[in-house]
Amino acid sequence: MPLSIANQNKLDAFWAHCVKNQYFNIGYPEYADFDYGSLERFMRFSINNCGDWGEYCNYLLNSFDFEKEVIKYFSQLYRIPFEQSWGYVTNGGTEGNMFGCYLARELYPESTLFYSKDTHYSVAKIVKLLRIKSQVVESLPNGEIDYQDLVLKIKQSGDAHPIIFANLGTTVKGAIDDIKKIQELLAQAGFARRRRSWRKHRHLDDQDQVDASGLHQPQAGSKSSHSATANYALRSETVDALD
Ligand SMILES: Cc1ncc(COP(=O)(O)O)c(C=O)c1O
């Protein structure tokens, strides 16, 4: 159906608005050089990756092969054998954060989730939606989590299995929470580190990560950015856990 002139004009005005403002979204980590040209022809299809790329799906208009490639890319980036990894591409950062928090809650339903003031606001909504106990931790001026405050609040909570929401690039300041430091400080505070088999989950997007104990950052030189159709992956593994 052709557009009315009024609607066409509205779209033209919006186009001009986007062109004018594309480079001025200070504080939001985003790309400005998208080119979806080669994908344009697929916009006529109702593509939907319902289900799991690892299983058969009778909805044939899926792009599971590509989703699998994304997970493969992240598993290599994080040096996880592909066969031992699993993940999926979410609709954006909020869903990635939510899935990570959901997994943590499933592991430790009674635990408290600790996140810093600089953490993306989706997390404050998510803990309500998922009914997870939570505590906000102070941030340092550079946007990193305030490590001393984190440890203090964990100690005060008496939580045996604190869930720590660590950021790998906060929204405005791009701050990276230092996982090693968190582990060290918790160890100093008397949280014994013992080998135990449990599942560790990472929301491996370019920005935040959810963790129930500690995590590594991707190899140096890896791409880090936020895109409109950001890719997220999660995985599980057996790890040394802070207990
Ligand atoms: C760090 C971080 N996490 C999550 C989000 C939410 O992403 P979305 O709007 O795609 O749900 C953003 C958005 O800017 C973000 O910067």
In a domain, 118, yes or no: yes
Domain that holds residue 211: 72-237
> What number is the average pLDDT over the span 157-169?
93
In a domain, 14, yes or no: no
Distance, CA of 213 to chain centre: 16
pLDDT at 200: 52
Distance (Å) from CA 92 to ligand 1 centroid:
7
In a domain, 24, yes or no: no
Distance (Å) from CA 93 to ligand 1 centroid:
4
Question: Treating both helix axes as pointing N-terminal to C-terminal, what angle do 179-188 and 147-157 enclose, rounded to 10 degrees?
Answer: 50
In a domain, 144, yes or no: yes
Counting the structural domains of the chain, the total is 1
Give the helix/strand (H/E) hosting 112: strand 112-116
Distance (Å) from CA 203 to ligand 1 centroid:
12
Instruction: Please identify which residue in the block is written with the tokens 């856990």.
Output: 241
Ligand 1 atom with the shortest distance to the CA of 170: 1
**Of the candidates 89, 242, 90, 228, which has an alpha carbon nearest to the alpha carbon of residue 166?**
242
In a domain, 18, yes or no: no
Distance (Å) from CA 208 to ligand 1 centroid:
9
- HEC string of 120-151 equals CCHHHHHHHHCCCEEEEECECCCCCECHHHHH
Distance (Å) from CA 207 to ligand 1 centroid:
8
Question: 79: alpha, beta or left, given left = phi > 0 and alpha = psi -120 to 50?
Answer: left
Predicted TM-score of the model (pTM): 0.80
In a domain, 154, yes or no: yes
DSSP 234: -
The total number of residues shown for the chain amounts to: 243
CATH number where 83 lies: 3.40.640.10
Residue with the larger pLDDT of the pair 238 and 30: 30
pLDDT in tens, 63-100: 999 999 999 999 999 899 999 999 999 999 999 999 99
In a domain, 36, yes or no: no
pLDDT at 193: 64
pLDDT in tens, 107-157: 999 999 999 999 999 999 999 999 999 999 999 999 999 999 999 999 999
pLDDT in tens, 172-226: 999 999 999 999 999 998 886 654 433 455 555 444 445 444 333 443 333 333 3
Mutate to test the pocket of ligand 1, among 90, 171, 225, 232 (most ligand atoms within 8 A of CB): 171
Residue with the larger pLDDT of the pair 55 and 223: 55
In a domain, 12, yes or no: no
Mutate to test the pocket of ligand 1, among 90, 208, 231 (most ligand atoms within 8 A of CB): 208
